A and B are shown apart, each in its own frame.
Chain A
């Protein structure tokens, strides 16, 4: 019926060309692309016409002009004489910083609160539920306001700082820490740290191999810890402590010297941690609940300790549910960090889409550069988590 000769016989002929699904598919796609192309061309045409009529310049020339405004916090050298491109880098680094802090802390808080749901203590169980249900259901913007304007604003002023051993100060202006300054010989310590990390990695591999081959278990955790801490400390002592600390001091209006953690950063990091932590706790709870009870019972019946059951049986299986959820929570944390703009933490959004856009009016270039950054950051997170997910998935032996 499908060959060419039979089609001439009238009956049972091949479908007309317009009923051929392949031809149809091509036709539909051409239609779709044409419509989309027309749409895009119209938009671009309109935009260019509008911008010309309004005297808006296009292009990225503005990036090389002097910005002329100061930024509250910068991880790289910056002042008002730097260019708009530098404001972009400053904002970018601040975004990455608050996101990284948020991700680490939210994971810790989330896991603790998620596990707390299974605590034998009734109060702790309820606390976990109350925490999740409260912070998950209030808009993040309000929580950011709460931490910044209600909690951190209640800290004392600079003269009445909370003081810990004249080295750590906490006041409304931020948290002041002593800053280690290098002396000659510090390089040796850094090398020792690197060696320790690499050494630990090799040791863990060796221990695992040994266990697979001989069944003997080495105290991996303790030995790793010993290497990681011991080697740098040893190096420091041998070199005669090649560091000295710069202590923050109250001079004039403010503390000078040391490291300052500004309250905007603290408020945003706390808000992101607590908010995302609630979602992660929920994910952890779902993950642990997804492990059938039979697994625990079976593990008990072969005589495993409770701590071992958690580590070897429950967590690896729960992780398969948790990790994909973590991936999306981390990504939304990064996107939510744009709320910095509400309290003036100088992240990419505040600095670049806020002040720089206000000064230059280059809306299209700036918004697209910013979106590209968030895409890149989220792609990186997604990539790492997928890699991690594959590793976790391998735990399952078939």
Chain B
């Protein structure tokens, strides 16, 4: 799920950037430092939408660097338990399949795939129902439910399930072929 939130960060700037474009430099550095990062509390910072306020700088003794408190608004993406997501399958193996929803990776274990779907090996590994009416393979779009999340420094990883009502394949690329 996406959120729009206000955040604050202390930015350190080298004195060589001081001058009429100090604000631009600070914003460019903020974008470079913050966008694409991931924190357990906020999730993925997708994009900065605006800078609300840049406070007074404070010289750090001994280094000459100046610390500016910057308050900014950004769009973040964070999955949470119980959320329903539409994701694209990226890899299928006998243990289950991996899918991607935005920057987030989701693993669906074979225990969390309906019992009537069986793993089929081959050039395009897939999970197929016995009557072959439903198939999950690479690039399939699935609707899944998040049941657990793990966050580390640079990515969010989730465990999902499609073993529930109204969950499963939305769009099967193999059906058209």
Do A and B bind?
no
Q: Which residues from chain B sit less than 8 Å from chain A, CB to CB?
A: none
